[in-house]
Amino acid sequence: MLPDAHMIGTGLKHETSMIPSFPRWVWAWAALLPAVAGSTNAVALLTLRHSGVTHLTGISTEAGIGIGAGDTGLLLHATAIIGLFTFGCALSSALARGPRWIPSASIAALILTVAILLAIASRVIELAPASGLMVCALALGVQNGTTSLTTGAVLRTSHLTGMFTDIGIALGQRTWAGPVDSRRVAVCALVISSFVLGAVAGAVMYERWEGNALLGSAALAAVVAVLSASLCLRKRLSES
């Protein structure tokens, strides 16, 4: 956001908010769900050495390379990952119920679906690695769609380009005492840290257990599902 004309050259600090105030439980999602995506993506990368299952920009590039280089296998792989991730987002939108910023029962069920899909992927990836990655893409599509819907796209947990963009903007605005949304910077820093730590954990677990490392990602998603369900139950009890 650019400053008002009267702010330029005054040296006055002006802080503005890019995102609305949100309930405290969102910080728990920001701390845990990116780790699910990071660990899953690490396992995907170590399994097939492709662009993973969360980086759709890179995967779209693979699709383009497949077309340009006449590599049908690469094109089909990239198309399947993109299609299943998108379908996961559509599934979350079709099934999610309840107002924004409220962890409803359907939202908890969708996060639990992510855990179940990742557990399934841990078995499939041992038998058919490419197919296992397709299941991972579906799971993370459900996760990213659910978090985007629930938080009004404030929190997206499966990719970091926008997060690094927002932090870079904030750093640039600081150089001329421009407006900086400290809450947005904190969210971005937390999501980035969680995703990277999840990738580290995913790599360590893969070295020991290979595809079964996804069970760790599934367990973490299940923890978030239980947390979301408990928040939903507490809200219902407070209203009764």
Query: 83 Cβ partners below 8 Å, 6+ apart?
Result: none
Alpha helices in the chain (DSSP H): 25-48, 56-69, 72-95, 105-127, 129-151, 161-174, 182-209, 214-239
Q: Report residue 153's pLDDT band, with 50, 70 and 90 as the boundaries.
A: confident
pTM for the structure as a whole: 0.90
Residues 6+ apart with CB under 8 A from 209: 215
Rounded to the nearest 5°, which phi and psi values hold at 50? -90, -160
Give the model confidence (pLDDT) of 51-107 as tens digits: 789 989 999 999 999 999 999 999 999 999 999 999 999 999 999 988 888 889 999
* Residue-range domains of the chain with CATH: 22-234 (1.20.1250)
* Structure-token pair, residue 133: 């990655």
Residues in the chain: 240
Token pair in block for residue 29 = 């999602």
pLDDT value of position 19:
64
| pLDDT tens-digit series, residues 100-143 | 888 899 999 999 999 999 999 999 999 999 999 999 999 999 99
